[in-house]
Structure 1
Amino acid sequence: MTAAAPNPAHFLSIHYLRAIAAVMVVAVHIFNYGLVAIDDESLVHWLKQGVAIFFVISGFVMVTSTSGRATRPGEFLRKRFIRIAPLYWVLTIAWLAFVPGWDFGHLASSLLFLPSPDPVTGAMRSPLLEPGWSLNFEMFFYFVFAAILLVPEKWRVWVAAVALGLFSLSSHLVDWPPVIAYFASQLLLLFVAGMALARFDLRLPVWVCVAGFAGLATLPQFTDSFAASVFVPTLAIVAGARSMDGYLRKWKLPSLLADASYAIYLSHLFTLQICSIFVAPLLPGPLAFVVVMALACWVGVLVHRRIENPLTAACKKGLNSIAPRQSHSVA
């Protein structure tokens, strides 16, 4: 009998890192979008690597959630679609109210998790709702992982490492069309790192996690190497955090922020847009930062509870009601 796969929710280190990653992204945008002035933005620029932590977590969770069980590629993609797409689509459409001069081509590519060419420069542009750029890579990884599910479990990490590694390096060797070149990024290696952490249950001492955050904050001052300034520190953060599993307790606020991390990540620009007019100009910088951060998290939790959860439940119910009829008709 095959052992049941571990529930990713049991990994509190991973769960809490979701909250930290979301807060990092909100923090860097508070500075980048001018709600709080800072003399040297390079001091906070590293906070954007909350997205890199999300990518490692994604690779980790995909392995742990499919380990020890037979998962069909179609079933896997259906679950990931339900988890990612509905809230993103709703918030993308809502964001149109803040985007002057948007076009239907840009909207369509955003909803399809694809980059689109700028009509003037021809360069690939991010989705209308900016955080959606990371979801483009998430969905690309999901399709690759779905294909890898056809490979025996013990070889999946190795196949992913070779496939994604070669593809990420191919941009230096092959003149890909712009859309393919967009995805041929070193960022894909972060998903592989997460997969490897899960597959080999790699844990490092807690101090390595702290050193990883210090590395993210300081190494970009000395090198622009992706491996040195992003990949290794992010891997260290997650591997070091993993050693705390078994010691961590389920605290209410971190758990709530972790549960709502996806909603916080997608909705925080709405909060920042409003706060840039009604909050930030009225408060001194440090206080403005605290208030805006608190509001972004609060709004994210509301979106999680009032929109994301009901929407996800409705989509699950709708798609699950179709699946049995399809399987019955095939039989």
Structure 2
Amino acid sequence: MDAPAQQHQYSIHYLRALAALMVVACHCFGYGIVPVADMRAVEWLRHGVAIFFVISGFVMVVSTTGRDIGAGEFLMRRLIRIVPLYWLATLAWGLLWSDLAPDRLIPSLAFVFLLDPVLPMARPPVLAVGWSLNFEMFFYLIFAAALFVPQQWRLYAACAMLLAYAALASLLPLPPQAAFLANPLLALFAGGMAMAHFNLRLPVICAPLGLAMMALVPYATDSVVAAVLVPAMLIVLGARSLDGRLPHWKLPALLGDASYSIYLTHIFVMQFIAWYVAPHLPGVALVPLAIVAASVFGVAVYRMVELPITSFLRAALRARRQRLALSEQAA
């Protein structure tokens, strides 16, 4: 999501920060920094990714409504936003703690799921958190195709393509990499798009209710709909009712800006803490330390790496567009 376009919608922007920090908090336990007896008590925090998916669907509609933007330009903007930092983080992780074998690296950089050599399941990419970007990129392709449709039908076209893909995957023996994308999580993108298209919102109480559902429903059922899809939608719909009432808070706004960098790079911090810090500090101190350290590191990466690179590439894209416009005028 491009933060500048969302500054007037603080509910969405602040939710980006919350979603990133939820994933960070989950990995304080998932990376073995702090032991926990029942992972269900903390595993729900990983569904911060689900909130990201809803936000992504929302923002794609908001950022293209009323604008004359073609599929090519849209995809180029998305690639500029997503690819450079992800590739850098993937290469850094591979060099430091994994490997850069072509059979793992190339699919990871291409946003294609890796196949488990034994089980019929997907393996995480070189940078484990990159699994969610495979879904993001797939959604961007669907949305880019929908841009060929008149604006008033764009939502329906994108939702129809998502539904058709899910149906196709259930009817035909697709290659495993393609079949893995036919996941219920795709409904979150559709929900976010509908939320923006119809300007949907619910009372603010729905936001904490959604968080409570994420935390508690897994104890009763493993239903993805009840434990992930409905709660994520409630969180965003409830938060949206605060638009127009939320002030500009510097720290949440900064964390929202840096949420992508925090999400991609926090596992570097987790690995460092697990190896060098965790043996010397009690668990009660490690969680806040890890969250703060991951946030500080992510903000630093955002300011020193992500922002300069994306600003440079966006400027280059604008300059190219201007040159093309001038050449067309001259012709």
TM-score of the superposed pair, with normalisation by structure 1: 0.94
Whether the 8 Å contact between 2:75 and 2:144 is mirrored in structure 1 is yes
Answer whether contact 1:24 1:50 (CA < 8 A) is retained.
Answer: yes
Matched residue type, 2:316: G
* Residues 44-77 of structure 1 deviation map (CA, whole Å, 9 limit, x = unaligned): 1111100000000000000000111211111111
In the other structure, the counterpart of 1:295 is 293
Is 1:189 paired with 2:187? yes
Separation (CA, whole Å) in 1 of partners of 2:90 and 2:235: 31
In structure 2, the partner of 1:237 is 235
Deviations 1:90-109 (CA, angstroms, capped at 9, x unpaired)? 11111112334441121111
Residue in 2 that maps onto 1:10: 8
Distance in 2, matches of 1:324 and 1:105, equals 40
| Higher mean displacement: 94-103 or 145-154 | 94-103
Hey, what does 1:246 align to over in structure 2?
A: 244
Aligned partner of 1:162 among 150, 160, 163: 160
Partner of 2:127: 129
Residues 138-197 of structure 1, C-alpha deviation per residue, up to 9 Å, x if partnerless?
011011101101111111212222221232244333321111101111111100000000
Amino acid at match of 1:211: L
Q: CA offsets per residue over residues 200-241 of structure 1, 9 Å max, x none?
A: 001100111111111111112112222221111111100000
**Counterpart amino acid of residue 239 in structure 1:** L
Match of 1:51 among 49, 52, 66: 49
- Report the equivalent of 1:3: none
Matches within 5 A, 1:165-244: 165-244=163-242
CA shift, 1:15, in A, is: 0.2
- Select between 170-179 and 71-80 the one with higher mean Cα deviation: 170-179
The amino acid that maps onto 1:79 is R
Q: CA deviation at 1:324?
A: 3.9
Deviations 1:248-271 (A, max 9, x none): 011111111111000000000101
Is the CA contact (8 Å cut-off) linking 1:169 and 1:185 kept in structure 2? no
Residue identity in the other structure for 1:61: V
Q: Residue 95 of structure 1 aligns with which residue?
A: 93
Equivalent-residue separation in structure 2 for 1:81 and 1:29 (angstroms): 27
Matched residue of 2:7: which SS?
Answer: helix
Q: Secondary structure at the match of 1:206?
A: coil
Distance 2:180 2:325 in 1: 37
Which residue of 1 is the match for residue 306 of structure 2? Answer: 308
| SS of alignment partner, residue 171 of structure 1 | helix
Looking at structure 2, the residues matched to 100 and 243 of structure 1 have their Cα atoms a distance apart, in angstroms, of 44
How far apart in 2 are the matches of 1:309 and 1:61? 19
Q: Provide the secondary structure at the position in 2 that maps to 1:94.
A: helix
Higher deviation after alignment, 181-190 or 299-308? 181-190
Contact 2:91 2:100 in 1 (8 A): no
CA distance in 1, matches of 2:183, 2:65: 27
Identity fraction in percent: 49
CA contact (8 A) 1:11 1:245 kept: yes
- Code of the aligned partner of 2:15: L
Within 2, Cα distance between the matches of 1:87 and 1:211?
Answer: 34
User: What is the DSSP-based 3-state SS (H/G/I as helix, E as strand, rest coil) of the residue aligned with 1:195?
Assistant: helix
Q: TM-score, normalised by structure 2?
A: 0.94
Match of 2:62, as an amino acid? T
Equivalenced residues, count: 326
Out of 270, 273, 290, the residue aligned to residue 272 of structure 1 is 270
Query: Does 2:28 align with 1:30?
Result: yes
**1:279 match: secondary structure:** helix
- Change in CA separation of 1:221 and 1:169 when aligned onto 2, cut-off 3 Å: farther
| Gap runs ≥5 in structure 1 | 1-5
User: What is the alpha-carbon distance in structure 1 between the residues aligned to residue 13 and residue 99 of structure 2?
Assistant: 38
CA 1:77/1:282 → structure 2, altered by over 3 Å: closer, same or farther?
same
Deviates more, 1:188-197 or 1:99-108: 99-108
| AA in 2 matched with 1:291 | L
User: Does the Cα contact within 8 Å between 2:107 and 2:114 map onto a contact in 1?
Assistant: yes
Q: Deviations over 1:282-314 (max 9, x none)?
A: 111111111111100000000000111111122
SS at 2:36's partner residue?
Answer: coil
Secondary structure at the counterpart of residue 168 of structure 1: helix
d(CA) in 2 for partners of 1:255 and 1:33? 27
Find the counterpart in structure 2 of residue 141 from structure 1: 139
